[in-house]
Each structure stands twice: as structure tokens, then as C-alpha cells.
Amino acid sequence: LCFPLLSSLLQNHHHQRARLPKPAVTNQPGNKKAQHSCSGEKNKETKCVKHTHTHTMTNKSAAAFLLVGAVCLTLMPTFTSAAEFANCANETAIGKYTQVEVSNCADSDNSCVLKRNSNATISITFTSGEDLSELKAVVHGIILGMEVPFKLPNDDGCKDSGLECPLTKDTSYRYSTTLPVLKQYPKVSVEVKWELKAGDKDVLCVLIPAKIQ
């Protein structure tokens, strides 16, 4: 019952996206897909899906998806384990993170607590293998294996984030921003997938185990 309900919500979201007019695309001759390399130190890599265009669910749709997921999770057995930030960057990522910090989240916590009707501060220290003239944050919540787009008040990584672009390669930078935890979100465990992108290039990706309370 759970998975059909969640799938139905996602299909409805995709159906609404299909009704939207497609953006005009201008072909630029001479563009080639760059080849990059990525490396992760001790974090386990998992495959990430790359999207050219990002469509964000409304807050109402995201809350509905999380609510259904919360009900499903209450019917499943729970397991306790130490929280770990996992590297989810794919093999084409041009950067890597060295430290991730979440407000009010201790190293000993099983997961980072995100309090409803408040803002959580996320900070990521990273380096890039290339110079960057732009940086954009893309955030999803993962529940029962399905991704829900989360809207940020500011997804520009070069603005009000402690960074000033352009960024120089092989230099350590600290990106910091806030994630609104809406009041209508249900109390549920969720994995936050935080990506930083530069145009069509993936810079980094990190999975943050969290619990909405």
C-alpha cells in the first residue's frame, strides 16, 4: 500500500511537469562534454542521478509525500546505527567535501534532528579540481528510496553562503546556508541529499541522515 501511494504522488508531480512548456534550448556549437574525475576518502560512494533541469515540488506536495512516508515508516521495524555522512557523488564529480556540519548535530548523534518551523544551518567544506565561476545547491529528501525535491530560499552557492565566486581549484572553501524545516512537515526520518553543481557539472554530493521533529 505504501509504495503505490508514494509512486502515485510522484507520478502526479511528473504529470504536472509534463504540462509545463518546455524551455527553449539554444545549441552552442563546439561544446563538448568534459571528462572529470572524483575521489572520496573514507565515505562510501553511491550512484547519483544527474539532471539537466531541476523542477521543485511545491511545499504542499513535499509535505504530502513526507506524510505518506511517515505513516509507512511507522509500520516498519526500526534499527539504530551511528550516523555517517556518505559521499553520493558520481564518477564525473569535479570536487569533494572534507567536512560537513549541521546545526545542533553532534558527532555522537544517530541522525541530525531538524526541528519543524525552524531553519537548519548546513555547512560544507570542500575543494574543487577546477576553477568555478558559479555554484548551485540542489537538495532532495530521500524517504523509502524515493527523492522529494526540497526548495531552498537561496540556491545560489555564490551568494550569502560565505563564498565569493569565482572559486580557485585545489583551494579549500566553506559553503554555508540554511534549510527551512516547514511546520507542515511530518515527524519522520529522512535522508537529505545535498548536491553542489556548477552549470552541468557535478561538484559534490553528500547524504545527511536526519530526523524531522
What does the pLDDT read at residue 4? 44
- Cα–Cα distance measured from residue 195 to residue 205, given in angstroms and rounded to the nearest whole number: 4
pLDDT in tens, the chain (213 residues): 444 444 444 555 555 554 555 555 444 444 444 344 444 444 444 444 344 344 444 555 555 545 544 444 443 433 334 458 999 999 999 999 999 999 999 888 999 999 999 999 999 999 999 999 999 999 999 998 899 998 899 999 999 999 999 999 999 999 999 999 999 988 999 999 999 999 999 999 999 999 999
Which residues are CB-contacts of 57 (< 8 A; sequence separation ≥ 6)?
Answer: 13, 65, 148, 149, 151
- Which cell numbers in the block locate residue 194? 545535498
The 8-class DSSP code of residue 29 comes to T
Read off the pTM: 0.64
What CATH number does the domain containing 139 carry? Answer: 2.60.40.770
What does the pLDDT read at residue 173? 99
184 occurs within a structural domain = yes
Q: Which residue has the cell 555517517?
A: 84
Q: Which residue has the cell 546545526?
A: 103
42 occurs within a structural domain = no
Domain span at residue 76 reads: 2-18+55-212
How many domains does the chain contain in total?
1
* Neighbour count for residue 106 (Cβ, 10 Å): 9
- Cα–Cα distance measured from residue 156 to residue 73, given in angstroms and rounded to the nearest whole number: 33
- Cα–Cα distance measured from residue 145 to residue 141, given in angstroms and rounded to the nearest whole number: 10
Per-position b or e across 142-167, b if 16+ CB within 10 A of its CB? bbeeeebbbebeebebbeebebebeb
86 occurs within a structural domain = yes
